[in-house]
Amino acid sequence: MKTVVETHVTCSVTVFNNLDRLVVCVRRRTLLGIAGSLFGTGCLRLTESGTPTQTRTEAATRRQTATRTPTRSPTATRSPTDSPTDSPTDSPTDSPTDSPTDSSTDTPTEEPETAAENRQTATEAFDYPTGVREDTVTRALVLTHQANLAGESFTVETNERFNQRSTAKVEGSRRLLTARNGSFTQYTNGAETFSRSTARSQTLYGYSQRVVYDLERDQLIARRLLMGLVQGGDWEPTGTTTEDGQQYLELEASGVDDQQALLDNNVYYEETASVSTFFGDGLVTEDGVVREMVVTVTFSGDTEDALIEYRTSDVGSTSVSKPSWTGTAKRKAPQFELSVVDDGTYLKLRQTGGQSIDVEFEVDVSGSGTYFDGEHSGSTTGETLYLYRTGERNERGNGVLGISEGSRPSSPPPSDWSGERRVVVYADFELFQDEVTV
């Protein structure tokens, strides 16, 4: 009788560059061999049939680390019908009663003969949520996840390319976003938004009597990132696991399924040609809440891998408290007044209160199907900025916005403003926005 030893060896290698980015995670591999000696660490299972059984033995403690996502060879195939050349019918006389003479400690048990049968056994008591099928995962899972969070409090943590970590907490109308590795924070009570950035040499504050776009529920769920990961990767369910008393369906991705979905959802940007490798693990509840997706990708043209993470926690139990600095933000937030002068030749932007902006900032003008952006630096306290059309375009194809401080430029612009125009002042976050009709 043939005995198969199945060993799961889990390796994790972490490399950091000068940006302290996690760049490599090494994918679990399954080693099959004839019984004899067992090398390394892992899980041992003996079968009498000679048919290896695919099992997933990843410990819950390893899931809680940033390097949980392994890397496997892009050339590996995962055909559910793959099986060893030795057929169970080659040894018709083998009987389970013979096992005690072969091993004093292990009792052979009959196992499913294919990976597909094994997945079915592992998940037979677990109903697939909408968006998950036996051999694939679709965008419907993201919509199911979003629907499950509607009306609930929740916490979503993400880590995007370039190690940009964010945490969003939602409790009813109170929402708190901590982004850019902690250097940027926004809070809303459902009627006002308070902002603070410590990313540069000057701490900037913002205040608005509305809920800004970044604090809308869909944005805090990070729906776009999750959609990119789900549609962009070649995912399939592989089994179930239990962590902290909660049962989860396990997902694995072994390659790229849709490059365009990765691009459209900003998993990568146009200056990067494509994603060349995509490997990941995920956990999903039976009702379709994505507990986590941890993905390692390689971008063509890059010499290092990138780790992208998405995690949901504390659904129904997240609480949000008002930050202590909101009073300072309301008092120090820059205030501007926007008007049209010279029959539409210029838009005049004048600071009327709040702290001076002493770092470089952006001014954008949009409307009537056009978009203009410009940059300005220098103290803004009491200053008036004249915004005009230069007739030029930048590398993004947008119009170049002319900004003249204190007075109109010596030469008139080539054309005037017309229609409805929206002006935004931006420095790490939106400091001001208003609209005028020319």
In a domain, 23, yes or no: no
Domain that residue 377 falls in: 334-437
| Cα(250)–Cα(283) distance, integer angstroms | 5
Instruction: Indicate the pLDDT class of residue 254, thresholds 50, 70 and 90.
Output: very high
Query: Which of 254, 244, 222, 205 is CA-nearest to residue 354?
Result: 205
Mean pLDDT is highest, among 98-102, 384-388, 394-398, for 384-388
pLDDT at res. 123 = 56
Same domain, 307 and 223: yes
3-state secondary structure of 323: coil
* 292 and 165 both lie in a single domain: yes
Determine the pLDDT at residue 236.
96
In whole angstroms, give the CA distance from residue 288 to residue 170: 19
Residue given tokens 């009627």 in the structure block: 191
Among 122-126, 357-361, 375-379, the range of highest mean pLDDT? 357-361
Confidence label for 273 from pLDDT (cuts 50, 70 and 90):
low
Higher pLDDT among residues 3 and 280, named by residue: 280
Report if residue 101 sits inside a domain: no
| C-alpha distances out from residue 201 to 220, 330, 335, 358, Å | 27, 20, 20, 9
Neighbours of 280 (CB within 10 A): 29
Residue 10 scores a pLDDT above 60: no
The two tokens of residue 208 are 């608005």
234 and 376 in a single domain? The answer is no
Regarding whether 263 and 205 lie in a shared domain, the answer is: yes
The CATH number of residue 354's host domain is 2.60.40
Same domain? For 307 and 198 the reply is yes
409 occurs within a structural domain: yes
Least confident of 22-36, 356-370, 403-417: 22-36
- Predicted local confidence at residue 417, as pLDDT: 97
Q: Over the stretch 312-327, which tens digit does the pLDDT of each residue have? A: 999 999 999 999 999 9
Is residue 280 domain-shared with residue 403, that is, in the same domain? no
Where residue 45 falls among pLDDT bands split at 50, 70, 90?
very low
**What is the reported pLDDT for 75?**
36
CB of 342 within 8 A of CB of 179?
A: no
Residue 7's pLDDT is what? 38
pLDDT of residue 35: 35
Residue 271's pLDDT is 61
User: Do 299 and 385 belong to one domain?
Assistant: no
Judgement on whether residues 198 and 240 belong to the same structural domain of the protein: yes
149 pLDDT higher than 80:
yes
Instruction: For the chain, give the percent of residues with pLDDT over 70.
Output: 71
Pair (211, 270) in one structural domain = yes
Q: Is a pLDDT exceeding 80 seen at residue 72?
A: no
Final residue of a structural domain among 313, 342, 363: 313
Higher per-residue pLDDT: 65 or 230:
230
Of 1 and 208, the one with more pLDDT: 208
Check which CATH number belongs to the domain holding 290 and give it: 2.50.20
Asked which of 284, 313, 342 is the last residue of a domain, the reply is 313
Q: In what order do the strands lie in the sheet with 29-34?
A: 29-34, 4-9, 45-47
Average pLDDT along the chain:
78
- Are 128 and 237 spatial neighbours (Cβ–Cβ below 8 Å)? yes
Mean pLDDT on 41-56? 36
Asked whether residue 415 is assigned to any structural domain, the reply reads: yes
Question: Average pLDDT in the 102-122 region?
Answer: 46
Looking up tokens 């369910």 gives 237
Which is more confidently placed, 327 or 383? 327
For residue 272, the model assigns a pLDDT of 56
* Cα→Cα distances 71→36, 53, 228, 286, Å: 28, 21, 19, 26
Is residue 162 very low, low, confident or very high in pLDDT (cuts 50, 70, 90)? confident
377 occurs within a structural domain: yes
Whether residues 163 and 292 fall in one domain: yes
Q: 305 pLDDT band (50/70/90 cuts)? A: confident
Q: What percent of the chain has pLDDT over 90?
A: 60
270 and 194 housed in the same domain: yes
Q: Report yes or no on 150 lying in a domain.
A: yes
Domain tally, the chain: 2
Residues 218-245, mean pLDDT to the nearest whole number: 95
Looking at residue 23, its pLDDT comes to 33
Q: Is residue 94 part of a domain?
A: no
Q: How far apart are CA 409 and CA 263, in angstroms?
A: 41
320 domain residue, yes or no: no
- 119 pLDDT higher than 90: no
Q: Are residues 277 and 339 in the same domain?
A: no
